[in-house]
Amino acid sequence: MQRRVRLGLLIVLGLSGFAAVGACRRETPAAPEDTSATPSPSPASRPLTVAFVQVGAESAWRTAETRSIQTEAGKRPGIELKFFDAQQKQENQIRGLKSFVAQDVDVIVLAPVVETGWEPALREAKEAGIPVVLVDRGVNVTDESLYTTLIASDFVEEGRIAGRWLAEKTGGKCSIVELQGTVGAAPAIDRKKGFEEIIAQHPEMKIIKSQSGDFTRAGGKQVMEAFIKAEGRNIQAVYAHNDDMAIGAIQALKDAGMKPGQDVLVISIDAVRAAFEAMIAGELNATVECSPLFGPLLFDTIAKIVAGEPVPKKIINQDRLFEPHEAAALIDSREY
């Protein structure tokens, strides 16, 4: 780790202080060149290699996260970004993580598809002296020193926000179907937990069906079709763990001759642009923001890590709720 920190102090993302050091050195007369051997690149000229192990591209939100991190890396002098798309499979993520350890990268960024099963691979990174930064999702490990920090939203609070909104809109009386995210994924676990905390305070609010749609639009549509077949007009509200599943559910409701947003209330999480379009169309009643724009905060945090500065174990993004009355005014400002 100390080797990496010393290297990082010289190449921290093009910070101006280091540029000044370089300028002073250029004023010092150079020593005669030793032509007997080819010199190795100086630490200051060596890029900081950051490897990003991404879940995949299962949603508009995920694509926006990838774009944010890649775009920000391109803005930072001295950064080389390596990218691995795991196609929604943990075994692929573990393989990618191990590959980057073998390549001796400087920092690994991991968006874990599920919470468990990470200890062996993370231990390899720790033993190699490579700090791991988790983004948007956490892991369940017995030794938290296996990762440096987690940058994420408060998924439990997002679920609470959705639950409070629905309780208010229905007067605490509602039959709900729930579209869960990927089984074992932190946002799926926590968004369910937060939502259930709130509706437990309202005995006449009940989840009558709950199933994973795997955070995908197609999955949301397929699961919603099954819910409609089983429950029909008993369904009064849909709570989806992300917007893509909600949009799939909206299509299923329309195909069944029901009016989403009117016959059935629909609330979801992420606040992607497509959710704003659905609110403007009157088909989505609310969405809770979960920003995927991690790039600037991520690379600011990496700069602190390689400089040896302390960082919190968890860094929280702040989220809020959006409703249809503000969607038209805000949609053009949405970056994702």
Q: 202-234: per-residue pLDDT in tens?
A: 999 999 999 999 999 999 999 999 999 999 999
- Supply 12's token pair: 């921290």
Pick the CATH number of 155-290+322-333 from 3.40.50.2300, 3.30.950.10, 3.40.800.20, 3.40.50.150: 3.40.50.2300
Q: Residue 45: which pLDDT band, with cuts at 50, 70 and 90?
A: low
Listed in sequence order, the residues at least 6 apart from 162 whose beta carbon sits closer than 8 Å to its beta carbon are 191, 194, 195, 239, 267, 268, 269, 286, 288, 321
Measure CA of the first residue to CA of the last residue in the chain; give whole Å: 36
Q: Domain residue spans in the chain?
A: 2-9+45-153+292-318, 155-290+322-333
Report the candidate in 54, 87, 96 with the shortest Cα–Cα distance to residue 294: 54
Q: What is the pLDDT of residue 76?
A: 95
- Supply 286's token pair: 């609310």
Question: In the predicted model, is pLDDT for residue 121 greater than 80?
Answer: yes
Question: What 3-state class would DSSP assign to 284?
Answer: coil
What is the Cα–Cα distance from 244 to 251, expressed in whole angstroms?
Answer: 11
Q: Do domains 2-9+45-153+292-318 and 155-290+322-333 have the same CATH topology?
A: yes
Domain 2-9+45-153+292-318 indexed as CATH 3.90.550.10: no
Listed in sequence order, the residues at least 6 apart from 105 whose beta carbon sits closer than 8 Å to its beta carbon are 49, 50, 51, 82, 130
Q: What is the pLDDT of residue 10?
A: 40
Report the candidate in 125, 122, 100, 121 with the shortest Cα–Cα distance to residue 50: 100
84 pairs with which residues across the strands?
A: 53
**Strands 286-289 and 321-322: what pairing?**
antiparallel
Contact yes or no for 269/244 (Cβ under 8 A): no
**Strands 79-85 and 48-54: what pairing?**
parallel
What is the Cα–Cα distance from 211 to 308, expressed in whole angstroms?
Answer: 44
Question: What 3-state class would DSSP assign to 245?
Answer: helix
Mean of pLDDT values over 235-249: 98
> Residues in the chain, how many?
336
